[in-house]
Amino acid sequence: RFLLLFSRQGKLRLQKWFVPTSDRERKKVIRDMIMLVLPRQPRTCNFLRWKDLKIVYKRYASLYFCAGLEEQDNELLALEVLHRYVELLDKYFGNVCELDIIFNFEKAYFILDEFLMGGEVLETSKFAVNVSMEQADTLQETMEEYMSKPAY
């Protein structure tokens, strides 16, 4: 249903909604998730129930990755979706940290889009995602080059 990234201080870093959600509802979900997840002790279970949703979260360094799933979704696998996303970020940025995600938030969204679509896994191969990200970057570079040329 959604994927949120927030810091230990409760600052939201990334939000992705896979079903249409009104602004008010979004704000409520974000607030509830942060309140629900942050106070939990380390080494408790990564799964929660919230209303009719399953919540799966995991902490990576100072960032919490938190996903809302529907009844029939598999929690363990969702945990690995989060992990795979972290791996992809890591590979792209090279040892990713929270700052990378703050300053290059658009890239974080693009990587997520290459990997998930409408809440379903689009491409599980790390290689394939990276190839398409690199292609995009190449396209962008050509563009930068083109931009910096003086116009005739």
Partner 1 sequence: MPAVSKGDGMRGLAVFISDIRNCKSKEAEIKRINKELANIRSKFKGDKALDGYSKKKYVCKLLFIFLLGHDIDFGHMEAVNLLSSNKYTEKQIGYLFISVLVNSNSELIRLINNAIKNDLSSRNPTFMCLALHCIANVGSREMAEAFASEIPRILVAGDTMDSVKQSAALCLLRLYKTSPDLVLMGEWTSRVVHLLNDQHMGVVTAAISLITCLSQKNPDEFKTCVSLAVSRLSRIVSSASTDLQDYTYYFVPAPWLSCKLLRLLQCYPPPEDGAVKGRLVECLETILNKAQEPPKSKKVQHSNAKNAILFEAISLIIHYDSEPNLLVRACNQLGQFLQHRETNLRYLALESMCTLASSEFSHEAVKTHIETVINALKTERDVSVRQRAADLLYAMCDRSNAKQIVAEMLSYLETADYSIREEMVLKVAILAEKYAVDYSWYVDTILNLIRIAGDYVSEEVWYRVIQIVINRDDVQGYAAKTVFEALQAPACHENMVKVGGYILGEFGNLIAGDPRSSPLVQFNLLHSKFHLCSVPTRALLLSAYIKFINLFPETKATIQEVLRCDSQIRNSDVELQQRAVEYLKLSSIASTDVLATVLEEMPPFPERESSILAKLKKKKGPGAVSVTELEDSKRESSELNGAGERGPDPSVMAASNASTPSPSADLLGIRSAAPVSTAPASAGSLLVDVFSEAGPAASSGAVNDDGFLRFVCKNNGVLFENQLLQIGIKSEYRQNLGRMYLFYGNKTSVQFASFTTTVSCPGELQTHILGIVEPLVEGGAQIQQVLNIECLTDFSDAPLLNIKFRYGGALQNLTLKLPVTINKFFQLTEMASQDFFQRWKQLSQPQQEAQKIFKANHSMDTEVIKAKLLGLGMALLDNVDPNPENYVCAGVIQTKSQQVGCLLRLEPNAQAQMYRLTLRCSKDSVSKRLCELLAQQF
- Residues forming contacts to partner 1 in the complex (CB under 8 A) are 12, 14-15, 18-20, 22-23, 41, 43-49, 52, 72, 74-77, 79-80, 83-84, 91-94, 100, 102-106, 109-110, 113, 117-118, 120-128, 132-137, 139-141, 143-144, 147
Distances (CA, A) of 85 to 1, 10, 52, 92, 137: 16, 20, 25, 11, 18
What is the dihedral sign for C-alpha 18, 58, 47, 11?
Answer: negative
Shorter beta-carbon distance to partner 1: residue 61 or 121: 121
Which of 72/150 has CB closer to partner 1?
A: 72
Q: How far is the CB of 24 from partner 1 (least distance, A)?
A: 11
- How many CA atoms lie within 13 Å of 65's alpha carbon, on the beta-carbon side? 19
Are the CB atoms for 75 and 56 separated by under 8 Å?
A: yes
Query: 38 vs 80, which CB is nearer to partner 1?
Result: 80
